[in-house]
Structure 1
């Protein structure tokens, strides 16, 4: 377990949380530490009883804390409450850094694995919000919502990809993301470009026509093409 930082330890007694603090910023700080302590693996589903047991090791009211984590949006659960999983990358997380396998010499850095939550991707804009959440934690700026920005990100010059010799991106719930970034969203995207005089109307009119004719690519397919242009990045779709 990651030791509690000063802003959290002030609310602990004998290493345990007796009550959640009232101020929201304090509640969030404590909740993020608790969520990482009980659910160290991002997006890994854990049963209700097991999560309650884990929280009971660090909190006097594990059921109340479990509810607070859900209310704050740091932990999600199935509708029936049978399983819970952590959805927020926190400051307590450490990127996976494995020894390079045989034959990987010269990659220049550790292997890192990052996780995209497809459940958060319900639009093109939300896709870039999710990229920011996973890749840009700790950065004081955010990506522009464009495929060029994604391409720059995968080059590894900044964010969580910076310094990685090998990078694995696990896209959980990709089927849902693929639907959200499908025909309807792509059509709206092209129409918005056509309405903006800053963009090449001829180019986007042709792309829209191809899409409507069934020969053009959806935004999901365009995103996969960008990943494919980076063979040093392994994309795992789940």
Structure 2
């Protein structure tokens, strides 16, 4: 079975918000769609299952990430720091300790970058073939 190909272009964004916009552009059903793929990484993970945009639930897809090395730099520890700072503003109090630990690691450029986390989430989906270019 040929997989539907979806291409993310790392040249189309320079920060995490731009990445979200790129994901919305390639995974939702065209201009004017009211679906938004993620405001947090849990929502992004849910969206990758399909059924909300250009692919059906469980439909095998090939996700091609052009200019992935640029994205790796853009979505580095600084982006992870900003992400954790935003999540801490609205997370459940019992999650604060773990998030503060992740935030401190990101500030010290330790642990996973935002790019690493996104790649891990994508790779958890057996129906998604990821190709980094």
TM-score between both structures, scaled by the size of structure 1: 0.49
Distance 1:170 1:186 in 2: 22
The match for 2:128 is: 233
The match for 2:27 is: 135
TM superposition shift of 1:169: 0.6
Q: Secondary structure of the residue that 2:39 maps to in structure 1?
A: coil
* Per-residue Cα deviation, 1:60-114 (whole angstroms, up to 9, x for no partner): xxxxxxxxxxxxxxxxxxxxxxxxxxxxxxxxxxxxxxxx2xxxxxxxxx62001
* Structure index of larger Rg: 1
On the 8 A contact 2:50/2:59 being kept in 1, the answer is: no
The match for 1:54 is: none
TM superposition shift of 1:214: 4.7
- Structure-to-structure mapping, 1:171-186, within 5 angstroms: 171-186=65-80
The match for 2:100 is: 205
Indicate yes or no: 2:114 matched with 1:222: no
Aligned residues between the structures: 128
Q: Which aligned segments of 4 or more residues in structure 1 are displaced greater than 6 angstroms?
A: none
Distance 2:82 2:34 in 1: 30
Q: Secondary structure of the residue that 2:85 maps to in structure 1?
A: helix
Q: Secondary structure of the residue that 2:54 maps to in structure 1?
A: helix
Q: Unaligned 5+ residue runs, structure 1? A: 1-99, 101-109
On the 8 A contact 1:153/1:161 being kept in 2, the answer is: no
TM-score between both structures, scaled by the size of structure 2: 0.84
On the 8 A contact 1:111/1:164 being kept in 2, the answer is: no
> Quick one: higher RCO (CA 8 Å, sep 6+), 1 or 2?
2
TM superposition shift of 1:188: 2.1
Distance 1:207 1:234 in 2: 28
Q: 1:215 to 1:183 in 2, by over 3 A?
A: closer
Q: Secondary structure of the residue that 2:34 maps to in structure 1?
A: coil
Greater helix proportion: 2
Distance 1:135 1:175 in 2: 21
On the 8 A contact 2:38/2:47 being kept in 1, the answer is: no
Indicate yes or no: 2:82 matched with 1:188: yes
Q: Secondary structure of the residue that 1:221 maps to in structure 2?
A: helix
